[in-house]
């Protein structure tokens, strides 16, 4: 969608588009309230600023909208479709990789109490597994900060993919 069209959308429709990038109410409100934008760069500055202010609770709530790495998204709508494209580097025919990701996801959830979230776009399945193994060594505070950063990367990439000059 062109930026001019996004600027002109009714608030609810603009909110739906932003929500498909990150299901965080403060993010949706910040990006829709700051319209109209003079350029995509301006939109992205507002998005980065809003993402930097996400609380731990907002991050945890937003994770409910993301599938586990290596699993096919089950949710309908734009977010599920985007997750499927973002995880294209995970070969569904590689049973060993899928088994190892499932095991890593289970261990991650046991250790941190939430799903393993990583920006999957542009990464291969083995890269995602290596990152998972590395992140299992983090302490809880470090890992929450990394999760917040990864969620912001995902949201910003999704937003850039949906709004054009």
Q: Tell me what pLDDT residue 58 has.
A: 96
Q: pTM of this prediction?
A: 0.86
pLDDT above 90 covers what percent of the chain? 79
Topology of domain 3-162, CATH = UraD-like (1.10.3330)
pLDDT tens, 95-136?
999 999 999 999 999 999 999 999 999 999 999 999 999 999
- Cβ-Cβ contacts under 8 Å for 108 (sequence gap 6 or more): 115, 116, 132, 135, 136
Which pLDDT value is given to residue 41? 98
Residue 127 is classified by DSSP as H
Q: Where are the alpha helices (DSSP H) in 63-139?
A: 78-86, 95-112, 125-135
């Amino acid at each position: 969608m062109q930026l001019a069209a996004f600027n002109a959308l009714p608030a609810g429709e603009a909110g739906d588009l932003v929500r498909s990038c990150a299901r965080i109410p403060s993010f949706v409100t910040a990006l829709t309230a700051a319209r109209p934008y003079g350029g995509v760069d301006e939109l992205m500055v507002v998005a980065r600023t809003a993402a930097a202010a996400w609380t731990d609770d907002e991050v945890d709530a937003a994770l409910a909208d993301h599938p586990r790495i290596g699993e096919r998204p089950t949710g309908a709508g734009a977010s599920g479709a985007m997750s499927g494209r973002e995880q294209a580097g995970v070969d569904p025919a590689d049973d060993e990789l899928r088994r190892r990701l499932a095991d890593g996801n289970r261990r991650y959830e046991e250790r941190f109490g939430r799903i393993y979230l990583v920006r999957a776009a542009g990464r291969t399945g083995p890269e995602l597994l290596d990152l998972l193994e590395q992140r299992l060594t983090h302490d809880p505070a470090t890992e929450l900060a990394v999760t917040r950063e990864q969620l912001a990367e995902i949201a910003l990439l999704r937003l850039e993919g949906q709004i054009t000059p």
